């Protein structure tokens, strides 16, 4: 019997795969558990349409991420903070502050969860690289310049 997997099944296949299994395995386990549906012609058409729409949506997100990468790459964000005598900050610079500075200085609205800084938090004065994870493997590099107040 041919079935369409609705979720990943260990040692069988991944979601949206069409696989051939024995009738008993499909009827007694996969179908009642909601892990698969029978691969009828109509279900195959629905699957093909869903895959086509998903590919189109993913391509749109990818193109948006590429344009954002071209716009944001190598920009510098300037932040000021209170500094002690030895050059260390009182507190630290977080990804949320970097996201707010990007919005104010360059008018790019980026989620703070997508910004990654080496060491997680900046605690000194200087210029540091930060990575913005825009979409899957698409990343942008920015510079964060921290100066004393």
If residue 123 lies in a helix (H) or strand (E), which one and from where to where? strand 122-124
Q: Which strands form 36-38's sheet, in the order they lie side by side?
A: 18-20, 2-5, 36-38
Domain positions in the chain are 2-68, 70-148
Provide CATH code, domain 2-68. 3.40.5.10
Distance CA 52, CA 41 (A): 17
pLDDT tens for each residue of 50-94: 999 999 999 999 999 999 999 999 899 999 989 988 878 888 888
Instruction: Please give the C-alpha separations between residue 19 and each of 10, 15, 116, in angstroms, as whole numbers.
Output: 13, 10, 40
Q: In the Cβ-directed half-sphere of 112, how many Cα atoms lie within 13 Å?
A: 11
Q: Which strands form 138-148's sheet, in the order they lie side by side?
A: 76-81, 138-148, 126-135, 115-117
- For residues 4-30, average pLDDT: 96
Distance CA 111, CA 108 (A): 10
Full-model pTM: 0.72
Provide CATH code, domain 70-148. 3.10.430.100
Q: For the chain, what percent of residues have pLDDT higher than 70?
A: 98
Within its chain, how far is the Cα of 41 from the centroid?
34
């Amino acid at each position: 019997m041919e079935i369409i997997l609705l979720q990943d099944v260990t040692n069988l296949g991944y979601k949206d795969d069409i696989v051939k299994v024995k009738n008993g395995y499909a009827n007694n386990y996969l179908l009642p558990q909601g892990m698969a549906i029978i691969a009828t012609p109509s279900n195959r058409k629905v699957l093909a349409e869903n895959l086509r729409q998903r590919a189109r949506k993913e391509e749109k997100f990818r193109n948006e991420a590429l344009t954002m990468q071209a716009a944001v790459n190598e920009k510098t964000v300037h932040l000021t903070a209170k500094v002690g005598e030895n050059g260390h900050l009182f507190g630290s610079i977080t990804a949320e502050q970097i996201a707010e500075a990007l919005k104010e200085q360059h008018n790019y609205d980026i989620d703070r969860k997508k910004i990654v800084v080496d060491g997680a938090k900046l605690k000194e004065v200087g210029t540091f690289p930060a990575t913005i994870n825009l979409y899957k493997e698409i990343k942008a590099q920015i510079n964060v310049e921290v100066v004393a107040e």
